[in-house]
Structure 1
Amino acid sequence: MGIDFFQNADWLNRERIRRYLAIFAALNVGTLALLVATAHDGIDRNGFLIGSDFLSFWTVGHMLLGQNPAAVYNTVAHVLAQREFYVQEGTYTAFFYPPSFLLFCYPFGFLSYFPALITWIGATGLAWLWTVRQWLKVFSLTPSVWLLALAFPPSLITITHGQTSFLIAALLGYGTLKVRERPAIAGICFGLATIKPQFGVLIPLVLVLTGEWRVILVAGATAIAMALAAALAFGPETWLAWMAISENAQAAMTNGAVGFAKMQSPLAAARLLGMPVTVAYAAQIVIVGGVVLALVRACWQQTYNLSLGAAMLAGAPLTTPFVLDYDLTILVFPLIALAANPTHRPWEKIIIAAAFAAPAFSRPLAIYIGIPIMPLVLIALFTIAARRAITERTSMATAPV
């Protein structure tokens, strides 16, 4: 097995890819079925509540009905409210989302936990599936959307955690797809995605450089409208309470309260490897700077296109120090765009395959062996996505008129 095996990866043909997808899908479905079948009263055999992170959102929904809304950002009150339903000693699922997300949490207050969890995963999962289908159509790819979704490791992780990742990925993915065709719709999607703002850092940069002003205006108006709606519904003091607790979120990230092995960012990788905080932040800043410079070069004197959009989404997980494996559902869109190209440069196919599969192994490798692989995979994926966008810009600039 020589270097060419990985460099050109000619063995990764369409039939093999379909088989690998079927294997991953079977493993994911089997894992989920085993988790549910061996659970007792919604508690898995490791003692964790199914949809563990969703407990935070569901608790907030119930708190909004019976308490001062600002109390959702009071850690003591939030802990006590959670423990009225589920107690596992030494664990607590924090809530650091902005008040605009309270609009999504409020309906959970009218449902018991598991119906709310199923509704949440079902609705947001279908939105993500539908968006994936739109990307497959645009790039004329034929894999079953269900096979692709069931095989993609972040799908399983999102379901078992009850996280927001399907929703955020659907909003950012559909917004990216519709920038030129339906700028108002794109702007609304980007504005709604500000409920998890750290994944939209690159969007204003790309939109400004490509002159998509209508999308920017609609996105800004949508974000402001959500903020005002939250202030009117739950009181302006909720924004003050959120800003106050955001300092705790920063401290939790820096000190490893979440666990550096669980996070997938360059900062977390540096901290896991024993580097001091200042060095870890420096590494994060350098990588973010590289992502920004690469996108500036790709966007320079170019109109918006989906190659730019794919690079923008591929870079999103690198721009925030607080990113977990379930957040990588967003990568399905740049992976589709890159896989659709009929010609691949050396190493591209193996990088695409690694980026698809790595979320299944990144957390276990980091926890049990102390090896953080995901930041390197993310950097490689962004590099080929940005290179593709830059190459297309250069080709267009040199094309005969």
Structure 2
Amino acid sequence: MGWDVLRKAEWLGAERARGYLVLLALVNAATLAFLLLTSTNGIDRNGFLIGTDFISFWTSGRMLVAGANVYDTLAHVAAQREFYTLPGEYTAFFYPPSFLPFVWPLGFLPYFPALAAWLTLTGGAFLAAVRAWFAALGLKGPALVLIAAFPPVIVTLTHGQTSFLVAALLGGGLLLVRERPWLAGVLIGLATIKPQLGLLVPVALLASGQWRTIAGAGGAALGLAGLAILIFGPQVWADWLAITQTASSATDSGTIGFAKMVSLFAGLRLIGVPSGFAMALQVGVTIAVPATVAAACWRRSFTPGMGALVLAGAPLATPFVLDYDMVLTAFPLAYLFARGRAEGFADWERITIAATFAAVAFARPLAINAGVPIMPLLLTLLFLLVWRRVRGEIAA
């Protein structure tokens, strides 16, 4: 009986779920308002600059405008500290040169107008992608309330991160594969600004034979890389390759903070598993997830379910993924909910949807204060449940 409470989760009906969503939205809005109202001159009550991580992108934009090398770490540190200094804090910049055309315009604006413009444009793109998925899945729910309630959204807002942009490009691209393959490819190609989150995309496209989308993605990715060379010079790629080892070391050593990360590797390291063994297990998952996606997509017409499977697996396939990247899960969560509402919820679906939706609100505090990593388990459950639904589509 006890397990049935979770397995069936029949108590989580529409009215109760709606109430939880409104409560989460109010908590998120109050948190954001408190952060802003208790800040002084753009510095929050804990001494952090509003937007935290965004200073890395804005600094990079300023350096590009000035003709400086954004991959010169010492110069990047100095440029950040010209604007704001918090002892012991530095936000590194490891993004590939493909991302530079996106941050370059930020350098022409003061910090806070640039932050506002960045979040407005990328947030608007993410909202548009979510609404497109809702329309494709036949959902008519309150998209704005859902977005306001979704914890990864407030984490992205407060960090000034790239997550809205990457989620919009990948989510929008994968939704359009069947109807507008060339445009889908362009969006997916632009998403190579954060390549670790797109590892499963070529697997799914190749397995399902989406050649026009593949061509569009390749052209867009090469075009973006060429644009970076054209504007900033060919040396920029060599400079980026030179610091990739530093990025790898930062992931392995926990410099970024295992509690902020949601991958299997980070979860294992958080509970004390040695680095080599943790990475070996991560590699096993990184092999198993693409194999599962390839089998599900093999020689079949591409569907939103396949796109949802790719996005559900994205955080599992890489060791370097953080809590704000969980905005990607909006799309597989919407897919799983739509299928459950239309056909009846299967075992574990209701509770997994609810837990994964809300988890980012608790994941980092639990990891920091109790050393308990909950995200790898929830992400695995989400992936398996989406996979089960996609298999059902295939059988039908």
Distance 1:102 1:292 in 2: 29
Report the CA distance between 1:364 and its aligned residue.
0.7
Distance 1:93 1:236 in 2: 25
Asked if the contact 2:170/2:188 (under 8 Å) is kept, the reply is yes
2:350 paired with 1:352: no
Match of 1:254 in 2: 252
Q: Give the one of 91, 94, 99 matched to 2:92.
A: 94
Match of 2:363 in 1: 362
Distance 1:47 1:199 in 2: 31
Report the CA distance between 1:296 and its aligned residue.
2.1
Match of 1:312 in 2: 310
Asked if the contact 2:209/2:299 (under 8 Å) is kept, the reply is no
Paired letter, 2:385: I
Match of 2:385 in 1: 384
Match of 1:154 in 2: 152
1:329-364 per-position Cα deviation (integer Å, ceiling 9, x unaligned): 010000000001131211111111111011111111
Deviates further, 339-348 or 34-43 = 339-348
Match of 2:219 in 1: 221
Distance 1:300 1:193 in 2: 23
Report the CA distance between 1:145 and its aligned residue.
1.2
Distance 2:338 2:20 in 1: 17
Q: Give the one of 269, 274, 292 matched to 1:271.
A: 269
Q: Secondary structure at the match of 1:317?
A: coil
Map 1:124-163 onto structure 2 (within 5 A): 124-163=122-161
Asked if the contact 2:259/2:270 (under 8 Å) is kept, the reply is yes
Structure 2 segments unaligned to the other structure (5+ residues):
none
2:291 paired with 1:293: yes
Match of 1:9 in 2: 9
Match of 1:174 in 2: 172
Report the CA distance between 1:293 and its aligned residue.
2.2
Match of 1:107 in 2: 105
Distance 1:228 1:330 in 2: 27
Report the CA distance between 1:291 and its aligned residue.
1.1
Asked if the contact 2:55/2:80 (under 8 Å) is kept, the reply is yes
Asked if the contact 1:315/1:382 (under 8 Å) is kept, the reply is yes
Distance 2:395 2:137 in 1: 21
2:238 paired with 1:240: yes
Asked if the contact 1:307/1:389 (under 8 Å) is kept, the reply is yes
Report the CA distance between 1:301 and its aligned residue.
3.4
Structure 1 segments unaligned to the other structure (5+ residues):
396-401
Report the TM-score when normalising by structure 1. 0.97
Match of 1:83 in 2: 81
Paired letter, 1:325: D
Asked if the contact 1:297/1:390 (under 8 Å) is kept, the reply is no
Question: What is the identity percentage for the equivalent residue pairs of Structure 1 and Structure 2?
Answer: 53
Match of 1:25 in 2: 25
Paired letter, 1:129: L
Asked if the contact 2:53/2:160 (under 8 Å) is kept, the reply is yes
Report the TM-score when normalising by structure 2. 0.98
Structure 1 segments, 4+ long, off by >6 Å, are: none
Match of 2:207 in 1: 209
Distance 1:296 1:238 in 2: 34
Report the number of matched residues: 393
Distance 1:50 1:153 in 2: 18
Deviates further, 209-218 or 133-142 = 133-142
Distance 2:298 2:108 in 1: 50
Match of 1:372 in 2: 373
Paired letter, 1:87: T
Distance 1:230 1:255 in 2: 31
Q: Secondary structure at the match of 2:46?
A: coil
Report the CA distance between 1:144 and its aligned residue.
1.2
Paired letter, 1:362: A
Distance 1:67 1:174 in 2: 34
Match of 2:61 in 1: 61
Map 1:113-128 onto structure 2 (within 5 A): 113-128=111-126
Paired letter, 2:383: F
